[in-house]
Structure 1
Amino acid sequence: MTKGRLIAIVGPSGVGKDSLMRALAAAEPHLRVAKRTITRPLDPDSEDFFSATEAEFRDQEAAGAFALSWGAHELRYGIATTDLDRVQTGTEVLANLSRTVLEEAQCVFGRLAVLSVSAAPEILAARLADRGRERPEEILKRLSRAEVRLPNSLAVTHLDNSGPLDQTVAAARAALYPSREALEIR
């Protein structure tokens, strides 16, 4: 069976990673979206995720529940081993990942596509303020991480999500499925 791949959606907070993932999954119904485990309370205005306390997360991690886990912004995040199983059996899985774990994701999942999403700084600041989860000093801290360098060893597609989401989705689909795009042009 053909191996699947992990499609990592990365970028700074407020750039629209979750919106892009939902729109990509709607446009490409074969894609599965990884539901992360995060050490924060559930929030109806946030992504769909499993909430865990720090202790629950550590226990799950020790039990091997995560194919990939990391810490950021005083939280812990995990991608389930079931998502690794999906990739290994031929499924393409979208995952909102930290830019700091991309090389590890490549080692764990094998096939990896990276979509690095950006937006103008003023758009990022407005989106973070609008979602209302962080205090102003936390927003500044998140904005200071907007320019994290990505590993040179990985092929990365850069997408600007400053404009309409449908344009970003079209660019992502063209990058993920270039042979399909070439067929449609003919």
Structure 2
Amino acid sequence: MTGRLIAVVGPSGVGKDTLIRALVAARPEISEVRRSITRPTDAHEACLSLSRAEFARQRDAGGFALSWEAHGLYYGVPADVLTRVQAGQDVIANLSRALLPAAMLTFPRVSILSLTAAPEVLAERLGARGREAAAEIARRLARGAPPMPEGAEVITIDNGGPLEASVATALAALTRQASL
């Protein structure tokens, strides 16, 4: 039996990492992917901070199943995640929407949780993080999102309200998909 990569995507500030942690707490059989990233990380992210040189070394040595660049940073999903999915485990990762076609080519099954929230909710959350100035936040909010890949298994969730509601919606939809 093959597992699946559950790709959580959405704009900055939509609560991807928060939802991932809540889903894993509710269903411990789902394993959270610890990404590599070329910036300091905080307690809210399941990430390993790497220098650009170390990231490039690991990427060039085949250390990532997926890697990408966004906003001047580099991100990677460890190569062992593919092995875990092929062995039947469901894994969940915060991914870039632009990476979804590559993920669908790499992994035998990908389910996409596409998170949304109202612009004012996103602006408030981004401001509270304190990583970016107001002008950068405005640019992020004005950016368009790439379309979902054709044939993708997409679950769209409004994550602007109570976390419990988003978790319940996601778990119900993921359970339905798993039985197909």
TM score, norm. by length of structure 1: 0.91
Contact kept, 8 Å, 1:83 with 1:93, in 2: the verdict is yes
Unaligned runs of 5+ in 2: none
Matched residue, 2:82 = 84
Q: Distance in 1 between matches of 2:65 and 2:82?
A: 6
Q: In the alignment, residue 176 of structure 1 is paired with which amino acid?
A: L
CA drift at 1:132: 0.5
Matches within 5 A, 1:113-132: 113-132=111-130
CA drift at 1:48: 2.4
Contact kept, 8 Å, 1:35 with 1:50, in 2: the verdict is yes
Moved over 3 A (4+): none
Deviations 1:4-55 (A, max 9, x none): 10000000000000000000001111000000000001323x3021001111
Contact kept, 8 Å, 2:4 with 2:91, in 1: the verdict is yes
- 1:99 paired residue among 97, 100, 103: 97
CA drift at 1:154: 1.2
Contact kept, 8 Å, 1:16 with 1:161, in 2: the verdict is yes
Instruction: Specify whether residues 152 and 34 from structure 1 end up closer, same or farther in structure 2 by C-alpha distance, changes over 3 A only.
Output: same
> Does residue 155 of structure 1 match 2:163?
no
Deviations 1:83-120 (A, max 9, x none): 11110101000010000010110110110000100000
CA RMSD, aligned part only? 1.6
Unaligned runs of 5+ in 1: 182-186
- What is the total number of aligned residue pairs between the two structures? 179
Q: Distance in 2 between matches of 1:20 and 1:145?
A: 22
Q: Distance in 1 between matches of 2:177 and 2:134?
A: 44
Q: Distance in 2 between matches of 1:72 and 1:179?
A: 29
